[in-house]
Amino acid sequence: MLKIINDWMQRYFSDEEAVVLAVMLALGFTVILTLGGMLAPVLIALVLAFLLQGVVGFLERRKVPHVIAVWSVFAVFMTLLTVFLLVVLPLTGRQLTTLFNELPRMTAELQAQLLLLPERYPTLLTEDQVLGALEAARGEIGQLGQLALTFSLSSLPMLVNAMIYLVLVPILVFFFLKDRQSLGRWFAGYLPRQRGLMKRVWVEMNQQIANYIRGKFIEIVIVGGVTYVGFVAFGLNYAALLALLVGLSVVVPYIGAVVVTVPVALIGLFQWGWGDQFIWMIVVYGIIQALDGNVLVPLLFSEAVNLHPVAIICAVLLFGGLWGFWGVFFAIPLATLFKAVLYAWPRQLDQQTAAEAE
């Protein structure tokens, strides 16, 4: 057993740089797992700065001075943040409140429709089965109401946290953009002088993560915006809230589109019934989803992230369970990081075999 372990260590950890990289990755994951809640504003600011750095770099390549490029991009960022806080967030909040108020009426209508099913299809359903399903649904709705009440009672501390985030995150984003090079040099000073493995992993990951995060952000905006326009054109209730859900659903590959279809279809059924308007709305919604999957995603990502669907789903489940929304959002980049490190990792026996073959 000791020989097996020793051979394994010699094969994968004989390179000093590989050991340092392994320690850095383990330390990074440990810090995020243990201190992620306290460092959340810093991590969010890092993500936003990473998104905006591409625009800053674009302006700098057009001979715009660094300070002017940073201030220009930061001004646009603050403008978009203000629009989101003053327009999008209040609109979706009002629609969410209206939806909670309408839930009892919608539940009563659903119950009346379900009670008619045993009469129409006596061979498929019985009245006891329908009543059992309704009782289970009442329990779930009751839990949802308790959750909403708990959320409202704890809204003051959450409001204070939100205000802290609104102050700290923009400040951190600005300094990450402004002092990117000096911060990078400071961090590089703690790395080994020989960084061939780290450079290979970084070059691959920098390109792929940049493409993924920026592409995913653009996809959320486009899908959510087009869906909102379509829902408003049909006069669908809670259009802004549903469009926001549809836009965020693209963060979770495969699963998100299926899950978000349920509230869209239910609200359309409650509003119009099984009529032509409902069918056309579902058709347009399906076209948006099809264009997203078959046109927008290939255009934005261009196969930059080459992972098997099983690997993507496993990554979403794993990192989403660890870090919630941000874990889901970064599931594919983290899986790509793992793949890049795995492929770039030095293997002493492989190198010896190749030398012997030569």
pLDDT digit string (tens) for 69-117? 999 999 999 998 898 888 888 888 888 888 777 777 777 777 777 777 7
The fraction of the chain above a pLDDT of 90, given in percent, is: 12
CA end-to-end span of the chain: 32
Kindly report the pTM of this predicted structure: 0.66
Section 172-198 average pLDDT? 80
241 closest CA partner among 260, 222, 214: 260
User: Which alpha helices (H) appear in 179-275, and where do they start and end?
Assistant: 180-188, 196-234, 239-249, 255-272
Categorize the per-residue pLDDT at 162 as very low, low, confident or very high, splitting at 50, 70 and 90. confident
229: amino acid identity, one letter: V
Are 225 and 235 a contacting pair, CB within 8 Å?
A: no
Range of lowest pLDDT (131-145, 168-182, 222-236): 131-145
pLDDT recorded at residue 228: 92
Q: What is the mean pLDDT of the chain?
A: 77
Cβ of 189: how many Cβ atoms within 10 Å? 7
pLDDT recorded at residue 344: 65
Q: Is pLDDT at 302 greater than 60 in this prediction?
A: no
334 closest CA partner among 352, 314, 349, 354: 314
Q: Please name the residues in contact with 194: beta carbons below 8 A apart, sequence gap of 6 or more.
A: 16, 17
Q: Which residue has the tokens 């260590």?
A: 9
Are 21 and 341 a contacting pair, CB within 8 Å?
A: yes
- Residue 5 CA from chain centroid, whole number: 39
- Residue 156 CA from chain centroid, whole number: 26
pLDDT recorded at residue 358: 47
> Sign of dihedral through CA atoms 14, 15, 18, 23?
positive
Higher pLDDT residue, 327 or 92?
92
* pLDDT tens digits, one per residue of 244-297: 889 888 877 767 888 888 888 888 888 887 778 889 999 999 999 888 877 887
